[in-house]
Chains A and B, each alone.
Chain A
Amino acid sequence: MKVLLVEDNERVARFVIRGLRESGHTVDHAENGRDGMFLAASEPYDVIVMDRLLPGQVDGLSIIEALRKAGNRVPILILSALSDVNERIRGLRAGGDDYLTKPFSFGELLARLDALGRRTWTGRETILEVGDLRMDLLSRKVSRGSRAIPLQPREFKLLEYLMRHAEQVVTRTMLLENVWEYNFDPQTNVVDVHISKLRGKLEQAPEKPLLKTVRNAGYMLTAD
C-alpha cells in the first residue's frame, strides 16, 4: 500500500514510517499541512494518516475538508490527541474514515490502515467465503464444508466483520467499535472470551484452525 503520513512530531513520524516500511508499505511523509495538502492532491495514495494539530495552528480537519471538496475520495485515518466523543464526531463529519487517539499502539494503527486501504468489498455481496467457511448474508446461514454452524445474532455480526476483513489483523478495539458499537475500553478480556467462544463453534477437530490470535495486536481470520 502507498501511505501518506502527515505528522509534525518527528519521533512519532519516524516510529510510524519505520513500522509501515517493515510491513511492506511505501510511505511519504509531510511535516506540515501545506506539504501534506500538496502531496495528497498530486499523488495517488491508498490511504492517508492525518495528524490534527499541525504547525502554524493548522487543523488537519481543514485539509481533509479541502480534499473532500476537491473530490478526493482516498481513505483517511485521523490521528489525534483529542479523545472527546465530540471531536471524534467532528473528525468523521469532516470526511475522515477512521479516528485513532494518541497515544496509540503501532499494531492498532497498522490494523486500521489495512482495514481502510484494502476495503475491497462493495457491501452488495450476498455470500462471504473464507476457505471452506461460507456465510450467506441473505438467509443468515453459516456453514463449514457440509457442517452448518448455528450462531447467535451478535456472533453472526462478529463473524461477518472478521470475514469482511479476512487475511487482515483486526484489533479488539476495532471489534468493540464495529460489532458492539462500544466506543470505550472495558479493560477486561471480554472480547477475547467472545472470540474463543466463536472459535469453538468454527473449528471442530479435525478441521483446520481459521481464527488466529495475532500476538500484541488482535485476531485474523485466514484460510491458510
Chain B
Amino acid sequence: MRASAVSLAVGYVLFGVAALVAFAAPLWYAWQVSVSDYRTAILQEDSDRLTEVFNRGGVTRLVNFIDERVGLQIAGERILLLTAPTGEVLAGNLDRWPASLPQQSGVYTVPVVLDGKPTPTFVVRTALPGGYNMLVGRDLARYTSVENDFWLGLTAAVAILLVVAVLGAVLIRREVLARIHGIQQTASAIMQGELSHRLRSGGGPQELDALSQTINRMLDQIEQLVHGIRNVSNSIAHDLRTPLAELRSRLEELSVTRPPPAETQTEIEGAVADVDRVIGIFNALLRLAEIDTGLRRAGFVAVDLAEVAAEAVEFWLPAAEVKGVALAWDGQAPLPVSGDPLLLAQALSNLIDNAVKYAPAGRGSIVVGARRLDNGGVELSVADNGPGIPDAEKPRAPERFFRGDASRASPGVGLGLSIVEAVARLHGGSLRLEDNHPGLRVHLRLGTEIVALSAPG
C-alpha cells in the first residue's frame, strides 16, 4: 500500500514534467521561427535600403553611406561589406569575405571572424549591378543571452513544477494512506465482532466518500443479516428446547418410575413422536435453507400453475370435508409459468393447510384462486373465513418461528409461511396478507420474469 502511494507520487511528478515539455517544445519552436523570420526581414530591409542608395548615387554614395553607418555602430553588432567586381574591399567592417560563404545571393548563417574569434553570424548577400557585391549581417551572440534566459526560465519552471508535484504527491499519499488506514481499522474492528463500526465519510475526496458510503451501506446490510441469523438461531434453540425438554422428562420419568411394559411402550412411542417433531423442524429449516440458496432456480421448468393449484386443492379436499370446511378452486386456466412445481405445490399446500386449520369447523369456507395480472405476473390466492391475523401481526407472520396469539394453541412450528415466502422470493415474487372480512386472504405473487412465454408442452 505504501509502495503504491510512492509510485503514485512518482507517476504524478513524471506526468507533470511530460506536460511541461509538451508545453515548452512548441513555444521554443515558435520563438525560433519567428525570431529568425524577423531577423531575415530586418537584414533584407537593410540590404534593400543600401541597394536603393547604390541605385541612386552609385558606388561612391554607397561607400560613404556604409562608412557612416560603420562609424556609428558598436563594433560587431552589424556586419557590412561592399566589394568591387575585382574582389577589392570598398567599404565595411570586414577585411574580406567569410571563407565558407557561397557565391550566390541569399540568406546564410556562417562563422565570421569578429574580434579575432569566429562567431556564428546571420548574413544576407546581395549582388549589385556592375559586379559589386554587398554583405549585410548581424552577430548572433547577442541572442545567446536571450536563449540562455529562455532555458533558465524553463529550468526554473521545471524545478517549481517538481517541488509542487512532489508536495502534491506527498499530500495525496498521506490522504489516501490515512483513508485506507481508517478503512483497515474499521474492517479489523468488524472482524473482531464489533459490527456497529462504520467508515468515516465527509471531508475527503468525493470518490472516497462515495466508496465509504457504499461500504457503510454494505455493512448495514451485513449487520442486519447477522442479526437476522442470530434471531433465527435463538428461535431455533428456543423452539427445539420445548420438544427436547418434553422428551427428556418423558425418558427420565420412564427410567425412574419403571412402569409396566404396556405403559413403557406407550411412553417410548411418545418419545419417538417427540423426536419426530424435532426432525420435522430440522427438515423445514433445511428446506428453507435450500430454497434460500437459489440453487433450485436451476431446476425451473414450464409449469401450469392452475394445474398445480387444482391438484393441491384436490389433495386437501377430503381433509377439509372431514372438518366440515368447503374448499373450492376458482381460478383461470391454464396459467403457464416457469418454476419449480414441487415447491409451488408445497407453498400452496402450506397455505391450504393453514386455512383448513383455522377455518371454523362445520361452516368454514376456503377459496383458492389464481389469475394473471395486468403486468404479466401471476397471483395465487387462498382466502378463508377463519379468525384472520391482526393487522399488527401481519408483517411478522412470515418470520421464522413467529406464532401469533391465535396460533399458539394449535400444532405447528411457525415455519409454514416462511417457506411460502421463500418460495415466492425464489420465483421473483412476494407474499401479501390481507383481511378477508372475516378471515385471512393470502396472495402469493410470482414475478413477471418467471412467467414462461410458451405453454408447457
Chain B nearest Cβ from A161, distance in angstroms? 15
Q: Please state if A197 and B318 are interface contacts (CB–CB under 8 Å).
A: yes
- Tell me whether B295 is interfacial, beta carbon within 8 Å: yes
A189-B279 contact in complex given A180-B311, A182-B349, C-beta closer than 8 Å: no
Q: Of A83, A186, A194, A197, which contacts B353 at CB under 8 A?
A: A186
> Inside 8 A of A184's CB, which chain B residues have their CB?
287, 342, 345-346, 349
Q: Please state if A186 and B286 are interface contacts (CB–CB under 8 Å).
A: no
- Tell me whether A204 is interfacial, beta carbon within 8 Å: no
Other than A187-B411, A189-B319, A193-B318, give 9 A-B pairs with Cβ distance below 8 A: A181-B342, A182-B315, A184-B287, A185-B280, A186-B353, A187-B280, A190-B318, A193-B321, A216-B269
CB within 8 Å of A: which of B263-280? 269, 272, 275-276, 279-280
- Tell me whether A84 is interfacial, beta carbon within 8 Å: yes
Chain B nearest Cβ from A183, distance in angstroms? 5
From A89, which residue of chain B is reached at the shortest CB distance? B299
From B275, which residue of chain A is reached at the shortest CB distance? A103
- Tell me whether A138 is interfacial, beta carbon within 8 Å: no
Q: Which residues on B are within 8 Å of A, measured CB to CB?
A: 269, 272, 275-276, 279-280, 283, 286-287, 290, 295-296, 299, 311, 314-316, 318-319, 321-322, 342, 345-346, 349, 353, 356, 411-412
A-B pairs under 8 A by CB, number: 57
Interface residues in A, total, Cβ within 8 A? 23
> Inside 8 A of B345's CB, which chain A residues have their CB?
182, 184
Q: Please state if A183 and B342 are interface contacts (CB–CB under 8 Å).
A: yes
- Tell me whether A70 is interfacial, beta carbon within 8 Å: no
Instruction: Give the CA-CA distance A188 to B322 in the complex, in Å.
Output: 13
> Inside 8 A of B346's CB, which chain A residues have their CB?
182, 184
Instruction: Give the CA-CA distance A86 to B316 in the complex, in Å.
Output: 27
- 28 chain-A/chain-B pairs, Cβ below 8 angstroms: A83-B286, A84-B286, A84-B295, A85-B290, A85-B299, A86-B295, A103-B279, A105-B272, A154-B314, A154-B315, A180-B311, A180-B315, A181-B342, A182-B315, A182-B346, A182-B349, A184-B287, A184-B345, A184-B346, A184-B349, A188-B319, A188-B353, A190-B315, A190-B316, A190-B318, A190-B319, A193-B318, A197-B318
Q: Please state if A186 and B314 are interface contacts (CB–CB under 8 Å).
A: no
Chain A nearest Cβ from B97, distance in angstroms? 103
> Inside 8 A of A85's CB, which chain B residues have their CB?
290, 296, 299, 342
Instruction: Give the CA-CA distance A197 to B295 in the complex, in Å.
Output: 38
Q: Please state if B296 and A193 are interface contacts (CB–CB under 8 Å).
A: no
0 or 1 for each of A166-197: is its CB under 8 Å from B? (1 = yes): 00000000000000111111111110011001
Q: Please state if B318 and A187 are interface contacts (CB–CB under 8 Å).
A: no
> Inside 8 A of A188's CB, which chain B residues have their CB?
319, 353, 356
Instruction: Give the CA-CA distance A185 to B284 in the complex, in Å.
Output: 9
Chain A nearest Cβ from B311, distance in angstroms? 7
Chain B nearest Cβ from A217, distance in angstroms? 12
From A87, which residue of chain B is reached at the shortest CB distance? B290
Q: Of B269, B316, B353, which contacts A187 at CB under 8 A?
A: B353
> Inside 8 A of B286's CB, which chain A residues have their CB?
83-84
Q: Please state if A193 and B299 are interface contacts (CB–CB under 8 Å).
A: no
Chain B nearest Cβ from A188, distance in angstroms? 6
Instruction: Give the CA-CA distance A33 to B285 in the complex, in Å.
Output: 31
CB within 8 Å of B: which of A69-103? 83-86, 89, 103
Q: Of B276, B342, B353, which contacts A182 at CB under 8 A?
A: B342
CB within 8 Å of B: which of A97-144? 103, 105
Q: Please state if B283 and A84 are interface contacts (CB–CB under 8 Å).
A: no
Instruction: Give the CA-CA distance A197 to B411 in the complex, in Å.
Output: 24
> Inside 8 A of A89's CB, which chain B residues have their CB?
299
Closest 8 pairs between A and B when the two form their complex, measured CB to CB: A193-B318, A193-B319, A184-B346, A190-B319, A197-B318, A84-B290, A194-B318, A183-B342
